[in-house]
Chain A
Amino acid sequence: MADKWQLFVEQFVTYGGYRTVLDGLYATIIIAVGGLLIGIVIGMLIAVTKVVPKYSAFVKTLSRISDVYVGFFRGTPMVVQLLLVYYVLLPAMGVRIDSAVVVAVIVFGLNSGAYVSEIMRSGINSVDQGQLEAGRALGLSYPTAMLRIVIPQAIKNIIPTLGNEFIVLVKETSVTSFITVVDLTKAFRGIASANYEYIIPYLMLAAFYLVIVVLITIAIRLIERRFAKSDRRVAAK
Chain B
Amino acid sequence: MKKFSKIMVIVLALATLVGACFAFAACNDNSVKIGAQQGTTGLFYLQGNADMNFSGYSNISAKSYDSIGQAVQDMINGNISYVVGDVEVAKAAAADVGGAHIIDIPLSTEQYAIGVDKAQPELLADINEVLAEMKADGSLAQIIANYDNEDYEPVGVPAGVQDSSKNQLVLATNAEFAPFESKQGELFVGIDIEIAKRIADELGMELVIKDMEFDSVVTSVGKNGIDIALAGLTVTESRKVSVTFSESYYDRSYQVIIVKDGDTTFDECTTKEDVENILKSL
Contacts and interface: CB of A to CB of B under 8 A. Distances in A.
B185 A12 contact: yes
Contacts of B223: 86-87, 90-91
Given A12-B185, A87-B223, A98-B163, A193 B212 contact: no
Interface in A152-210: 177-180, 182, 186, 189-198
Contacts, number: 103
A97 interface: yes
B224 A91 contact: yes
Nearest to B165: A98
B86 interface: no
A15 B172 contact: no
B93 A196 contact: yes
Interface in B180-220: 182-187, 210-213, 215-216, 219-220
A178 B39 CA distance: 13
Interface in B54-78: 66-70, 72-73
B183 A20 contact: yes
A177 B69 contact: no
B11 to A, nearest CB: 20
Contacts of A148: none
A16 interface: yes
Nearest to B188: A190
A179 B184 contact: no
Contacts of B224: 86, 90-91, 96-98, 100, 180
A196 B72 contact: yes
A90 B215 CA distance: 19
A11 B178 contact: no
B106 interface: no
A194 B183 contact: yes
Given A11-B184, A11-B185, A178-B212, A190 B176 contact: yes
Contacts of B212: 177-180
Given A15-B187, A177-B212, A198 B220 contact: no
Contacts of B69: 192-193, 196, 198
Nearest to B73: A198
Interface string A83-97: 000110011000011
Interface string B69-93: 1101100000000000000000011
Given A86-B224, A186-B211, A96 B185 contact: no
A98 B162 contact: yes
A60 to B, nearest CB: 30
A177 B210 CA distance: 10
Contacts of A18: 185
B219 A87 contact: yes
B225 interface: yes
B176 to A, nearest CB: 4
A76 interface: no
B48 interface: no
Contacts of B264: none
B251 interface: no
A64 B93 CA distance: 54
Nearest to B94: A196
20 contacts: A15-B187, A16-B186, A16-B187, A90-B224, A91-B222, A96-B224, A97-B224, A177-B211, A178-B215, A189-B67, A190-B176, A190-B182, A193-B69, A193-B175, A193-B178, A196-B68, A196-B72, A196-B93, A196-B97, A196-B178
Interface of A: 11-12, 14-20, 86-87, 90-91, 96-100, 177-180, 182, 186, 189-198
Given A15-B187, A190-B211, A194-B183, 14 more contacts: A15-B186, A17-B183, A91-B222, A98-B224, A180-B172, A180-B210, A180-B216, A189-B67, A190-B175, A190-B182, A193-B69, A193-B182, A196-B72, A196-B96
